[in-house]
Amino acid sequence: MNDKRDCLRKLPSVDRLLSHKRVQNLIKEYSHRLVVEAIRADLESIRRGILAEQNLEISESAVLDRISQGLRTDFQASLRPVINATGVVIHTNLGRAPLSEAAQAAMIAVAGAYNTLEYDLEEGERGSRLVHAAKLLRALTGAEDAIALNNNAAALILILSALAREREVIISRGQLVEIGGGFRIPAIMRESGATLVEVGTTNRTRIEDYEAAVNEQTAMLLRVHASNFRQLGFVEQPSLSQVTACARQHGLLAVDDLGSGTLINTRKFGLAYEPTIQDSISAGFDLVCFSGDKLLGGPQAGIIVGKAKLMARLKRHPLARAMRVDKLTYAALIATLQHYLRDEALQEIPIWRMIGRELDEIGRTAERWAAQIGGKVVDGRSTVGGGSLPGTDLPTRLLAIAVASPARFAAGLRQADPPVIARVSKSHVLLDPRTVLPEQETDLLRVLSRLALDEDQEKGRLS
């Protein structure tokens, strides 16, 4: 008992710790209240440990170490930049599409000053935020008008709520998809107040199936991109023009939810055909919706393009205000669209640079990494990701590092500064140069060098 009392008496007081220079620096970083709470919590933990006869380090330096580490862990920003070495170009878990330098600069410019979000400079009065991207989207897609919302799910909900509430919407059973996060097309349709009418079978739907389902309650024919899966074998879906012709014949709306949405023909990269936004507009769809942060390569947004009369109804709907985007999204979206207008998207938008990166150049990068870090260069496959071009991939060259515990090595990469996200395959950690941004390479090699050295030292201790 006396030993316990002696240990308790040796504990530093809160006031004594607060006078320490290290604690003063912590107060500047985290605030006086948070530091005092951390000190009291650690001292209380030590007291309980002493009474329970646990061997805890109670020195002043140990207390300060625990407090510093605890504050860093608790209050470090959870949203952080990472190095994506997975080879998944549009990685949903890693923020999807990285923005171009121009898009980043545009966001900074409007974030640091007042701006014309809802102000008309020519008239000197209140304007509309809806005009900012519309002109560019009209020029690029051939649509009559456009609107930007906070994501593509919002875009689809707005279309169904404004144009098909308490009416029927016909969709192929093969397109009743679920994408990431449990987003299900049938659930979205129920929430919008529209009635789902399924036609065809899971693998085969013909235009005759649509024709047979049309009645006086039908408002719309809806086509939905398969997103993150692809059907093979005995499958069939009507063409774009067949769907729009059927809609026109019966006086119905034709809506195409492209999901990802691209302005560029993906075949030029050796990838499968992905219907472009222009294809859908040319085929006669009344409205087309798609994401801003997938194959467009911009910020998160849900974009709707189509007939001016219908767009006017969407813009007046109460949900349009609830789902609208802010000044930063508009700034990044406009800068991204300008790349397409200037015919420089393949050079300036990161995801298109990655997709179009030559295999020989990727291989040279991997060889350079291997020369500095060790490991071997092997063939591999990159994927586009983000629900875009499901089932298709690109040839790549990977740096394969053999380690005793790939899971532990990958965890060390994730805990580095900056964190590195890689793939694990059997006894190797795999890193794909395709998705590592050029400005991140120095940091990547520094992290790899440190972990490789730790791995060698560990092997030396065990030998």
Looking at residues 451-462, what average pLDDT do you find?
Answer: 64
Q: What share of the chain is helix, strand, coil (3-state, %, to 5)?
A: 50, 20, 30
Same domain, 184 and 297: yes
Give the per-residue pLDDT at 57. 64
pLDDT confidence bin for 49, thresholds 50/70/90? confident
Tell me how far apart the alpha carbons of residues 46 and 66 are, in angstroms, rounded to a whole number: 11
How many alpha carbons fall within 13 Å on the CB side of residue 191?
13
Q: Of the candidates 345, 372, 387, which is a domain's last residue? A: 345
CATH number assigned to the domain comprising residue 339: 3.40.640.10
Expressed as residue numbers, the domain containing 387 is: 83-91+352-462
Same domain, 135 and 157: yes
How would you label 316-344 residue by residue, b for 16+ Cβ within 10 Å and e otherwise?
eeebbeebbbebbbbbbbbbbbbbbeeee
Same domain, 301 and 428: no
Tell me how far apart the alpha carbons of residues 175 and 222 are, in angstroms, rounded to a whole number: 9
Mean pLDDT lowest for which of 10-14, 164-168, 309-313? 10-14
Tell me the average pLDDT of the chain. Answer: 89
Looking at residues 356-371, what average pLDDT do you find?
Answer: 96
Same domain, 42 and 143: no
Looking at residues 124-147, what average pLDDT do you find?
Answer: 95
pLDDT confidence bin for 341, thresholds 50/70/90? very high
Same domain, 196 and 269: yes
The SS3 call for residue 1 is: coil
* pLDDT greater than 70 at residue 35: yes
* pLDDT greater than 70 at residue 183: no
Q: Of the candidates 294, 329, 345, which is a domain's last residue? A: 345
Q: Which among 188, 154, 459 has a CA at the least distance from the CA of 292?
A: 154
Same domain, 331 and 433: no
pLDDT higher at 348 or 226: 348
pLDDT confidence bin for 56, thresholds 50/70/90? low
Looking at residues 342-356, what average pLDDT do you find?
Answer: 96
Q: Are 196 and 222 in contact (CB under 8 A)?
A: no
Tell me how far apart the alpha carbons of residues 174 and 168 are, in angstroms, rounded to a whole number: 18
Model pTM score: 0.87
* Number of domain units in the chain: 3
Tell me how far apart the alpha carbons of residues 294 and 260 are, in angstroms, rounded to a whole number: 5
CATH number assigned to the domain comprising residue 359: 3.90.1150.110
* pLDDT greater than 90 at residue 201: no
Give the per-residue pLDDT at 463. 42
pLDDT confidence bin for 209, thresholds 50/70/90? confident
pLDDT confidence bin for 430, thresholds 50/70/90? very high
Mean pLDDT lowest for which of 194-208, 306-320, 334-348? 194-208
Looking at the chain, the whole-number percentage of residues with pLDDT higher than 90 is 62
pLDDT confidence bin for 75, thresholds 50/70/90? confident
Same domain, 331 and 399: no
Give the per-residue pLDDT at 191. 81
Element (H, E) at 32: helix 32-51
Same domain, 298 and 382: no
Looking at residues 386-412, what average pLDDT do you find?
Answer: 87
Looking at residues 143-151, what average pLDDT do you find?
Answer: 96
Q: Of the candidates 345, 374, 405, which is a domain's last residue? A: 345
Same domain, 224 and 323: yes
Same domain, 291 and 359: no
Please, which residues have CB within 8 angstroms of residue 347's CB and are 6 or more apart in sequence? Answer: 353
pLDDT confidence bin for 279, thresholds 50/70/90? very high
Same domain, 329 and 426: no
Same domain, 245 and 364: no
Q: Which two tokens stand for residue 29?
A: 């970083």
Tell me how far apart the alpha carbons of residues 2 and 9 are, in angstroms, rounded to a whole number: 10
Q: Are 446 and 421 in contact (CB under 8 A)?
A: no
Give the per-residue pLDDT at 113. 94
pLDDT confidence bin for 106, thresholds 50/70/90? very high
Angle at 403 between CA 392 and CA 423, to 5 degrees: 20
H/E/C letters for each residue in 381-414? Answer: EEECCCCCCCCCEEEEEEEEEECCCHHHHHHHHH
Give the per-residue pLDDT at 150. 94
43, 79, 210 from 10: Cα distances, Å: 11, 40, 82
* pLDDT greater than 60 at residue 460: no
Mean pLDDT lowest for which of 24-38, 100-114, 245-259, 331-345? 24-38
* pLDDT greater than 50 at residue 9: yes
Residue 350: asked if its preceding bond is cis (omega within 30°), the reply is no
